[in-house]
Amino acid sequence: MVIRKLVVGLLICGVLAGGTNLFGLQVASAEPVRQGGGIFYESRPDEVALYLSDIAFVRDRVILPLGQEIRVLLPPGTYTDTLILRQDGARVRSYRITPLEAGAYTSSVYSGRTASVLTWETPVVTASAASVEIELEYLLPGASWTPTYDMQVVDEENVALAFFAEICNSALSLDDTQVVLVAGRVDLSQQLDQVPMVTANQYAVGYEPVDVPGLGAGALDLQHIYAAGPLSAEPGDTLYVSLADASLSARREVVWDAARQQETDVIYKVRNTTDLPLAEGIVRVYQDDLFQGSDFIETTPVGSEGSVTIGSLPDVRVRRSESREYQNPQTADDHYLYQVTLEIMNFSEDDLVLLVLDQRVPYAWDFVFSDEPVEGQDNQLRWEITVPAGETRTISYSFRAD
């Protein structure tokens, strides 16, 4: 019989007093809890789901022999109220969790965190059953992942995008463990559901379940589940796993949000033609063999476009000016007359195609525009204009308001 990941001692005191390294813990000398035979098993994950928040869901399966007391060491920091214990596929209804004394181990990684020992009543040995399959599921902090991207601007219509998962691990010892990455944040203040509901919105952004059934989770906004494959790591390691690397088409847009800033934004609308949705994260942008800065990319389903800002145009100047004049001070119809000027100066050698945005003042009236805008949601004004090379273009409008 093969017993996986098993530490066996004829005497439990032999395990405790021998300084054996259990789950990265240096176990110091301690009085034995009982005299006599027993099994002391260190829980190590077979499968792990990592979330964007500082939380991991662990599933551990092991076959243990019957006829001796079984004790299971849970990793330090385990949320013991999330433990699910199964024995030969059936839920164990009664078990005990005992904190391991702080003086029983020393570890800089787990400093200040408490490990726990799990015990329960196991079946007796019979002619047909000399062993039992144990399955543990639990949540613990100390392991998570972050989507990171590198984007190389090739030209105005193409980019090269690399999508990596940065896995930060301070809690788990992984040995060819099957890992999945969940693009979602767990809220442990909510009720924990063993099988989360998959909503229509999750399907809309490209939900693709992987073959790790029954991932336990709290309330979360699930975007996607990525299969990272078998991974090995020790507490303190940071892993980088490539999820996608592709050349993608893009649209270069130049935008000036006149109500909020006095410079243009160069935005690349990148079409996701990979076979995975892109989770929200930070994109590091490179152009002309130089680092150009970082920006945030929103969740981008397969086939849709994500927005990445790569800076402003150095040879374009923009300026918004506004004045107001008090009208009819001696009457009941007193109000202000506002004059707004939007000025775009193109010093480059190429014509500039620009999207200009401004904010319409609510409850104002008598608008007069030099160039008629398109009015969008939230009182937004939009102009799509072309400014010839070396020239200046001006948009002006006026309105009245109390």
Q: What is the pTM of this model?
A: 0.74
Q: Is residue 300 part of a domain?
A: yes
Looking at the structure, tell me whether residues 114 and 170 fall in a common domain: no
Q: Is residue 155 part of a domain?
A: no
Estimate to the nearest angstrom the gap between the alpha carbon of 233 and the chain centroid: 20
Count of domains forming the chain: 4
Tens of pLDDT, residues 171-228: 888 999 999 999 988 766 654 444 444 444 444 444 444 444 344 444 556 678 999 9
E runs forming strands in 331-391:
335-346, 352-359, 365-369, 374-375, 380-387
Looking at the structure, tell me whether residues 231 and 255 fall in a common domain: no
Looking at the structure, tell me whether residues 91 and 130 fall in a common domain: yes
Looking at the structure, tell me whether residues 325 and 395 fall in a common domain: yes
Looking at the structure, tell me whether residues 216 and 291 fall in a common domain: no
Instruction: Report the residue count for the chain.
Output: 402
More confident position, 100 or 374 = 374
* Residue closest to 74 by CA, chosen among 44, 106, 46: 44
- Secondary structure (DSSP) of 202-265: HHHTT----S-----B-B-----EEEEEEEEE-TT-EEEEEEEEEEEEEEEEEEEETTT-SS-E
Encoded amino acid at 307, one letter: S
More confident position, 359 or 13 = 359
Looking at the structure, tell me whether residues 256 and 367 fall in a common domain: no
Q: Where does the pLDDT of residue 34 fall: very low under 50, low under 70, confident under 90, or very high at 90 and above?
A: very low
1 pLDDT above the threshold of 60: no
Estimate to the nearest angstrom the gap between the alpha carbon of 193 and the chain centroid: 20
Looking at the structure, tell me whether residues 129 and 29 fall in a common domain: yes
Identify the domain boundary among 309, 329, 359. Answer: 309
Q: Is residue 75 part of a domain?
A: yes
Find the domain containing 337 and state its range: 316-401
In this prediction, residues 3-29 reach a mean pLDDT of 32
Q: Is residue 301 part of a domain?
A: yes
Looking at the structure, tell me whether residues 15 and 135 fall in a common domain: yes
